[in-house]
Structure formats: C-alpha cells, structure tokens
Structure 1
Amino acid sequence: MITRRQFFQFAVAAAAPVLPGMAALPGVAFAASPTPQTAAGHDVLQAVIVPEPAGWVAGLNISNPAVIVSVNIFDGLVTYDDAFHPVPQLAQSWTESADHRTITFNLRKDVKWHDGHPFTSADVQYSLMEVTKRFHPRGNATFATLEAVDTPDDHTAVFRFTSPVPAVWSALGGYETQILPKHLYAGSPPLTNPLNAHPVGNGPYVFKEWARGNYVVLERNPDYWDRQNPPHFERIVFRIIPDEGTRLTALESGDLRYAPTDAVALPDLVRLRTDARFVVSSHVFDGIAPISFFDFNLRRKPFQDLRVRQAIAHAINRDALAKVVWYGLAKPAQGPIPSYQTRFFKPDLPQYNYDPAHAEALLDAAGFHRGADGVRVRINNLPLPFGNQYVLTAQFIQAQLRHIGVELTLVPTDVPTFNRRVYADYDFDTTVNWYAAFADPQLGVTRRYWSKAIKPGSTSSNATGYATPEMDRAIEGLVTVSDPVARKPFIDQLQQIAQEQVPSVNLLELHFYAIHAASLNGFSNTPMGAYSSLASVRDA
C-alpha cells in the first residue's frame, strides 16, 4: 500500500508549477489584477472558473467551465425542479403523443435574443438538426432517433422520433441541448463561428467582455422574459485565476464568493468543509456523475494489442490513487457507469486488480521485453489541464508504470492545445481525463465507445478511435429501444465489452464540489445545480 508520504516523494514537484499556457500573469495577486468591478460590491457577484475554455457556447464546447458560464447566457427548452422533473423555460408547455414518438413544444412568445431578434421555432429546428445531432459530442446518441423537428408556426416545435427516447427528458436543459440563434449561425461552420467567443444568447445574463487570461463579464439582461424572477446581480464576473493558492486566498478574504469546481487543493477543501463562512456541496454535481479514466490512442501500434492495455490496467493501484491523490473524495470505478447508478450499473464486471507481476507477464507475452535500461516501451500522456489533480493523477500512474518497465512521459498543455491534440489531431499516446456519465448512459457514456462518436474536432467525444461491431450493436440497441426491460441487456453489454476490451482504463468515480460564501443563497438544489444559471442567487 502506497502512503501519502511515499507518493509525494515522487509527486511533490507537481504542486508547484502550473501547466504551460496557464501561467499566472504578472501581478497575479487577486487584488492587484485588473478588475471590471465598477458597481457597488453587492451588485456584482465575483466567481471563479478553472481553467479557461476555448469558448463559451456549451452546445459546442462542453467543457465544465464553459457550461458553468454558458447556462447564464442561454436558456433551455426546459429547466428542472429539485426532484429533477422538467419545468417550463423557453417552452412554456408541451404535449407528448401516446406512443411517445412525438413531443410538441409550445414556445414562449416574449423571448428575444440578446441582439433583439425574436426567438422562434426556426432556432430550435436549426439547433437540434444542424448543430446538436451533428456536432455535439453526445448529441447523435441522445437524439439518435430524432428524424425531424417540424415548425408549423413560429412558436411551435414538433420533435418527431422513430422510436421513443426516455433519456431525452434529462437532456433538454440549456446545459446540454442548447438552442442557438439561427440568424447568426446558419451558413457558417458552427464549431468555428466567432460568436463562440462572444455568444449571443437569450438567458438572464448578456455576455459583455472576455479579457483572455483574466476574466469574463456577464451583465443583467434588462429584457429578460421572466419578469417575475429577474436576475438579482447587475454583473457576474468569472475570474480566471490559474494558481490554486491565489484562489484560496481570494475565497478566504471574501474577494471571491462562488467557486463552482476545482477551485482549491483537496486538503484545503477538506478544511473549508468545516469553516462556517462557506457552504461546500457535492449534491449539485450528482446528476453529472463524473468518471475519470486513462485513455489509449488505439491508432498507435502498442495499444492495438489487448494484452498491453490489460497490463497497464493491472499496473495501476486505483484504491491507492483514490486515497492518496484524491484524499478519499473518489472511489475506484468498476466500469464506465458509476456504481451508484443502480438502475443501469452491472455488477460482477471484469476487473483489473493491482497486480504488477501479472502486468509484466502480459507485456512479455505481447513481445514487449525489458531493454538494457529496463524499459519495455516509451509512451506519452496528456493530463487534462483542469487543475493540478489530473497532473498528480498522471504522475502517480507514471511512477506505477515505471515498475513494469513502461516509461510514461507527461506532456503538459493548456485547454486549446489539449483539445486540438486529443480531439482534432489525435496526436497523443494516452491521456488522463474525465467525462460526465450523466443520469442515463445514452447521454454521457456511449460517446466514449461508439464509432459514430469519432468526430474530429468535437471535444469530449470518442478520442481513442475505438470502434467494434459488437460495441456498436450494443450502443445502437440501447439508443433505439425505449422499454427499460428490453434496453437493460444492451446497457449490460456495453459495460461488459468496455471492461473486457479496455479501450480505456476506468479509474475513479469522482465527487466534485462547489463552494460558495454562506452570505449567499438562492443556488439551485437540483442534481445538476452547478449547471444551472445564477439568476436566482442573491445576498442572504
């Protein structure tokens, strides 16, 4: 068993440097940085996001920080109550056919885009059929059987499915299925539209300014349709502060009052949970269901041998990883679906227990013998640049693989570089990453293994290049069959195949935390609360 002291003997260096491209600017101290706060302090909510994403449209860039900001700019067709039941938002009502193959949404007539253009059913049709189904990393799975969106008038959108999709009701919020302004996007490639860096939405806050590397400013929408519940704060300023020590200082001084995720080092998080000045909650991430994993690029020859992938899986002590690196705020994953999602989780899946001797035997059998320097194979790894935990995770794995003769070189990146190398150029050997499994595997799990989710340039999709007929059959079964009993065998097959063929090693079930000042209230209490707008947040 590796102790924390033993781990930090080889990982201590990771706590100090920041990834290239994320280095602090001169004068990084929070109080010294240029700030857009010009109104009275209580009219401005100062928050922080980590790290800086490539854009702010969650319908195209689904990274955690992009979603957290974007849900304040864009409303969804529906939002959710505390029990995660859909309630009206852009759609003021809806009806569903008896066979569940048609959903008719009656859209609000008083919604305008932030440029003054009216919101209509044409925006819904364009967004679902031309953007979500084609470019969203999860869209083709969620809406696999959506054949058309009819627009009989400007305020009616009729979704027509070839078979019912119960999972769709978990995906119609603005954090997942985002409606974009057709008049500004149609005719241009959505992924490269300049508006992704300066979005025009229809939600409670208007995008005002992005000072790259410093902050993003949103301003209250004076024409917001919900006159009964207008946004409270005049401005929300999302600070971009790369250094976790600086973030902690800003939180403790009161300069920052909201930190949705990854804001402080885990030892500090443990301490803040007992500090009466703060509220620390993981419930607001329950619906996201994050799973971390070690991905292989199956385009690279060594990983085309199953024995190599199995060997690396056996070389990683996931129990120690959870306890030492993640301070017990995670648990070993048994498969691609979290074990607490009992409706879908399949017990007794193949497991890769920590067994370095067996790992070495597998590598010998695969023809990867130790050289004179003791090294069997040299590979690289790109840790997700979403905070130091992923670097520490990669360093932990690096040390463990060294024991079996695998030399793992870590390649630090910033977010744009990571996205380009992993999802566009496929220029990597392995990665340390996490995806949200979400409330249904159709939403968050299938994209890791489906051949149709290999979409160059689309982030958080199938980066490994994994594609097999048996996995495709399982996924196509679960996305087209609506009866829960008939659907479950396909979900079981997905999990079984994923664990047997190991296109990536499922590492940990993660638990994310949001921190906010106890002087604030009005945060959403739903399982997707961290992906809800801050319109209702106010001073206690």
Structure 2
Amino acid sequence: MILAASLLIDSYPAYAQGGGETLTAIVQPEPVSLSAALNSAAPTGVVSGSIFDGLVDYGTDLKPKPGLAESWEVAPDGLSITFHLRHGATWHDGVPFTAADVKWTLENVWQKIHPRNQVTFAKVIRVDTPDAWTAVLRLSEPSVAILSTVNSNGAQILPKHLYEGTDILNNPYNNKPVGTGAFVFKEWVKGSHITLERNPNYWDKAKPALDRVIFKIIPDAAARSAAFEKGEVQYAALSPVPLRDAERLSKRPNLRVETRGYEWLSPFLFADFNVDRPYLKDVRVRRALAQAIDLSALAKVVWYGFAIPATSPIPSTLPEFHDATVPKYPLDPKRAEALLDEAGFKRGSDGSRFSLNLDYIPYGDDFKRTGEFIKASLKRIGVEVNVRSQDTAAYTRRLYGDRDFDIAITWFAAFADPQVGVTRAYWSQAIGKNIPWTNASGYRNAAIDTIISDVQGEPDGAKRVALFKQFQRTVMEDLPTLPLLELRFFTVEASNLRHPITGDQVYGSFRDFTIEPRSN
C-alpha cells in the first residue's frame, strides 16, 4: 500500500498556473521530514528550500543577500541584530508572515531542538518585536556566526499559527509544510515522488517561472543515471549518480555536471569512534585505526577524485580557520600495530585482535564503499570489521539516540563558520539526546565545551581564529572523530536548464529556474 501525505489545496487560496514548465528532479535518499527547521538532513534541505524562504540568501562570496529580511544591522557593541522584514510576504495559507514567526521559531525551535542552532543562537537572550516587520535579536555577548546561517536551511522559520501549542516534533505540518516560498507543497507519495506547485501569491510577483517541481525518489544509482540519459529528469544535487558515471554524463550534449553552488556547505567526511566502547575508549586504539587508513587511496579509489584527504575537522575550504599544523596520523601500519600491542590488544592465534561494527550513512554506494574500504584497511592490522546498513531513520537513532555502534561514517557541512557546522560534533551537551548530526562519539572534554562557549560570544576575529586553532589541536590529539575527506559534491542538470549560481544553491529555491526549449 502506498502511503501519501498531501495538503488539501482546496482550502487554500486559488493556485493559478504560471504558464511555465515542470521541472523533474531527484531527491535521494527519500527525506524523513520536509521541515529543515527540525531535521537538518540533506534530502530535507533539497526539497524544503523551495517551500520556505529564509531571512537571507547567500551568494558565492557567502555574503548575505535580502530574502524575507530586506535589510539588517548589527549594533556597534555587537549585542543586537535587527532584521527589517519584507512587507507583503504571506504563508501559503494566506496568513501574513510577521516578526512573531521569527521570534517564536527562534525561541522554541532553533534554541531548543535544532541540532546546529542550539549552539549558534545560544547567546540570544530574547527577541524584541517592536512592530510586525521588525525582529531584534538581543544577545548576552556578540555572536558573529549568526549572519552566516540565517538562510532557509540554516535557520528555517516555521508558521507560529500552525505550531504554537503543538507537539512540534510530531506536528503534521512537518510532512505537509506550509511555507513562504515560491512553491507550495502539493503531495508526497512515499517511495515515489514529492510534488510542489507554483505559488501565485509569492512576494516576488515575477517568480517563479516554473509551474511545478516534481522530486522523484529513485533508490537505484544506475536507474538515476539512466533517467538523466533518457531526459526523464533535469536536475539532481549532492552527487546523485555513481562517481564513475559523472564524467561520462558530462560529455552528453543534453547534460552538464556542475560543481558550483556548494560554497556554503564546505562538506567533510569523517569517522565517529564511540569512545564509550571497551576498545575505543583507549586513545591509542583510535590513533592506531587512523594510521591504518590510506586517505589518499580512499579519495582516489572510492571517491574518484571528487574528494581530497582531510587533515582537520575544520576543512581547508575555510582557510581563515583551518589549522594545517594539528596532530596528524599518516598511513603507517607498523606504527598502528605497535599501538595496538601497547594497548594490550595483541593478535590471537587466528591473527585477529578484536572486531568492531561499522555503520555508514545510507546516502548511496559511495558511503557504503567507504565502509568496505575501511574494513579492508583495518583487517591488515588484525581488526575485523562488520559493515552494517540500515535506512536513515534507523541510522540516526542508532548513532544519536541509542549510541549502539562502534564506528560510524557520516558527513557534515562545516558551513561558512565552524561554530555553525563543526563544533556540534564535539559539544558534550548533545550526547544521547537523539538529535541527528551532533555528537555521536560521546566525546566529553570540559576544555572543548569552554572553547565552544567562548567562541560563540567572541567578537574579535583574531581571537576567534586562535580559539578555533586550539580547538582543532585538542580534538585531533584526543581523536574522538577521524577526519577522512573533504568532499567535492556535484550537480547533474539538463543543459537547457537556466538559473543563477548561488553559494547555497544546493539547499536553495527553484524560484529563478527556467527551462529553455531545445533547438531541433
């Protein structure tokens, strides 16, 4: 039986056709929710970016541009940020969007539920709304990272009138969202597709040009490649086809492979070690495992060059903050074996020392192959690995709720400021709270928690950089997580698809997309 979550458009304002085209895209894997305010997983962001607008958008220079906020200013002392909101923007049910929505979402969602924003907005002590179109964030200390994360994905605003007084995490509008964006949610047929339709009451009256967007769910990687070749789909982000197919598809006249549009993400792949496990609580074991993995080979063999070896949890794509002098663990199997011997885990008569379970994020074959590569690498030093697979819901519950794992492979976005995307993996207050994409390793270090707190309220750029470098040196010494690769995602799209490139395009809106007729 096919389950569907659909919004009854009949009870909403009339949605006229825009005279445009239908864009067929792919989202893979299927989202578990359509609200990026509550679920920061990549598939959710890909869909919800067209349903919700953010206070700002980001250009390729990562500077904010007006969105639902027409302008903003930071007080000279850094203790307030004032957003001047757009007049005339409405929710898809016709209710006006106001500063009350911003205030309610910040206080009830960003600060209490969101996996990144609990840290990012920690210094906000209240939100003043002197009128319906002004939201003033009052801070206990300056927080320069806030303006790096207030787009539709980083700080998605929810409609207060549909969420206030409800069980937010189980509100039905999480899966039939009502936003302010250029497209209105129409239908979600589980396992098949998600349909969005043009919003004729959009505040930017000239947009969108498209009549609808249909996101197809195609689990099989080869089938996704075939769908592009046949012209059945025109767009998909986040490396949607097997890496070995990317070059071949880029040579087809009806397609192009685009690597721009990911500037806001700065994605990195890493391995979480569950430091509460008997073997992995010993830092010598974690360092030994690190020195058994050839990261250059992983980048070339598994990721086909769409990645480079990582040396720190803050990727080199954030050069202001990245520290290339942190402790490193180069490939050295002999040293790895010596560390394991020293830790008391010698090889048995069968050559094995112990066994571990490895869980990989279920976002495609590249992540599975990463797990298999690590399995083969660790076997050489006498560590047996059992690679496990599951769907996204089971994976996140296993890591962030039950913490029933030994090693987990996942990727995070560092975003434009490591306070937003990196520190969440090391903050002790998130452990075991079943908040996806936070601290799965179970790492607890009071000094690191202090740095995370201090960097939130430090207005001086040089001092923030110094704190982040101290952060990197400490966590690379303790090694609760092992940075593996800096990823280079790509988008596959039809050659007659036209749109501007933005720094947050992967999670952005289709409002500026057009489809040109193909010449015969």
TM-score range, shorter chain: over 0.9
Residue 95 of structure 2 is aligned with which of 117, 120, 127? 117
Deviations 1:309-337 (A, max 9, x none): 11111111111101111111111101001
Residue 82 (structure 1) shift? 4.3
My pick for the range that moved more, 157-166 or 245-254, is 157-166
Residue identity opposite 1:162 in structure 2 = S
Q: In the alignment, which residue of structure 2 is the partner of 1:473?
A: 450
Normalising to structure 2: TM-score of the pair? Answer: 0.93
Residue 61 of structure 2, aligned match among 77, 83, 101:
83
8 Å Cα contact 2:25/2:236 also seen in 1:
yes
Shift of 1:117: 2.0
Which residue, out of 163, 166, 185, partners 1:188?
166
Would you say how many aligned residue pairs link Structure 1 and Structure 2?
501
Match of 2:195 among 206, 217, 233: 217
Hey, what's the Cα distance between the residues in 1 that align with 2:442 and 2:172?
A: 29
Residue equivalent to 1:424: 401
Q: CA-to-partner distance for each residue in 1:272-299, whole Å, 9 max, x for gaps? A: 2333322212121122011101111122
Please give the per-residue CA displacement for 1:62-100, whole angstroms capped at 9, x wherever unaligned: 111110111101111112344332222212222332222
Asked if the contact 1:140–1:453 (Cα under 8 Å) also holds between the matched residues in 2, the reply is: no
- 1:295 pairs with 261, 265, 272, which one? 272
DSSP 3-state at the match of 2:112: helix
Aligned partner of 2:282: which letter? D
* Contact 2:127/2:138 (8 A) holds in 1: yes
CA distance in 2, matches of 1:486, 1:268: 45
User: Residues 315 and 400 of structure 1 are in contact (CA less than 8 Å); yes or no, is this contact kept in structure 2?
Assistant: yes
- Matched with 1:311 is 288
Whichever residue aligns with residue 153 of structure 1, its letter is: D
Equivalent position amino acid for 1:161 in 2? L
Q: In the superposition, relative to structure 1, how do residues 40 and 532 fare at CA in structure 2: closer, same or farther (>3 Å)? A: closer
Question: Bigger shift: 372-381 or 318-327?
Answer: 372-381
Do residues 344 (structure 1) and 360 (structure 2) align? no
Please state if 1:44 is matched with 2:25: no
Inter-partner Cα distance in structure 2 for 1:160 and 1:42 = 43
SS in 2 for 1:134: coil
Matched, 1:226 2:204: yes
Quote the sequence identity (%): 44
**Greater share of helix:** 1
Q: Tell me if the contact between 1:335 and 1:498 (Cα under 8 Å) persists in the aligned partners.
A: no
**1:101–1:297: structure 2 CA closer, same or farther, 3 Å change rule?**
same
Q: Which amino acid aligns with 1:529?
A: Q
For 1:534, give the aligned amino acid: F
Pick from 244, 247, 270: which aligns with 1:270?
247
Hey, what does 1:501 align to over in structure 2?
478
Post-superposition offset of 1:41: 11
* Cα distance in 1, alignment partners of residues 368 and 173 from structure 2: 32
Give 5+ residue unaligned stretches, structure 2. 3-16
Map 1:359-438 onto structure 2 (within 5 A).
359-438=336-415
Q: Which amino acid aligns with 1:289?
A: S
When normalised by structure 1's length, the TM-score is 0.90
Query: Offset of 1:341 from its aligned partner?
Result: 1.9
Q: 1:203 aligns with which of 161, 177, 181?
A: 181
Amino acid at match of 1:257: Q
TM-superposition CA deviations, 1:488-509 (whole Å, max 9, x none): 1110011101111110110001
1:56 to 21, 31, 34: 34
Matched, 1:532 2:513: no
- Alignment pair present for 1:247 and 2:224: yes
The CA RMSD over aligned residues, in Å, is 1.7
- Shift in Å, 1:194: 2.3
Instruction: Name whichever of 405-414 and 297-306 sits farther off.
Output: 297-306
User: In structure 1, the residue corresponding to 2:404 is in which secondary structure?
Assistant: coil
Q: CA deviation at 1:189?
A: 3.2
Letter of the 1:211 partner, please give it. V
Aligned partners of 1:282 and 1:512 also within 8 Å: yes
Structure 2 contact 288–340 (Cα < 8 Å) conserved: yes
Shift of 1:140: 2.0
Distance in 1 between the 2:503 and 2:71 partners?
23
Distance 1:295 1:109, change over 3 A: same
The 1-side partners of 2:219 and 2:241 are apart by 11
Q: The residue matched to 1:285 in structure 2 has which SS?
A: coil
Once structures 1 and 2 are overlaid, which stretch shifts more, 421-430 or 344-353? 421-430
SS in 1 for 2:279: helix
Cα distance change of structure 1 residues 243 and 42 upon mapping to structure 2, 3 Å threshold: farther
Change (3 A) 1:511 1:144: same
d(CA) in 1 for partners of 2:452, 2:62:
25
SS at 2:272 equivalent = strand
| SS of corresponding position for 2:82 | strand
**3-state secondary structure, aligned to 1:280:** strand
Once the two structures are TM-superposed, the CA of residue 43 in structure 1 deviates from its matched residue by 2.1
Q: Deviations over 1:337-374 (max 9, x none)?
A: 11232111112211111111111111111121222322
SS in 2 for 1:87: strand
Q: Which residue of 1 aligns with 2:6?
A: none
d(CA) in 2 for partners of 1:183, 1:301? 49
- Equivalent position SS for 1:421: helix
Paired residue for 2:47? 69
Question: Secondary structure of the residue that 1:298 maps to in structure 2?
Answer: coil
| Structure 1 residues 201 and 399: alpha-carbon distance in aligned structure 2, compared to 1, 3 A threshold | same
Match of 1:462 among 427, 433, 439: 439
Asked if 1:132 is matched to 2:110, the reply is: yes
1:13 matched residue in structure 2: none
Secondary structure in 2 matching 1:398: helix
Q: Secondary structure at the match of 1:316?
A: coil
Equivalent-residue separation in structure 1 for 2:272 and 2:432 (angstroms): 16
**TM-superposition CA deviations, 1:227-270 (whole Å, max 9, x none):** 1x311111100000001111111101111000112311111112
User: CA, structure 1 residues 498+262, in 2 after alignment: closer, same or farther (shift >3 Å)?
Assistant: same
Q: Which residue of 2 aligns with 1:29?
A: none
Partner of 1:154: 132
How far off is 1:455 after superposition? 5.8
Contact 2:25/2:215 (CA < 8 Å) preserved in 1?
yes
**Partner of residue 102 from structure 1, selected from 71, 76, 80:** 80
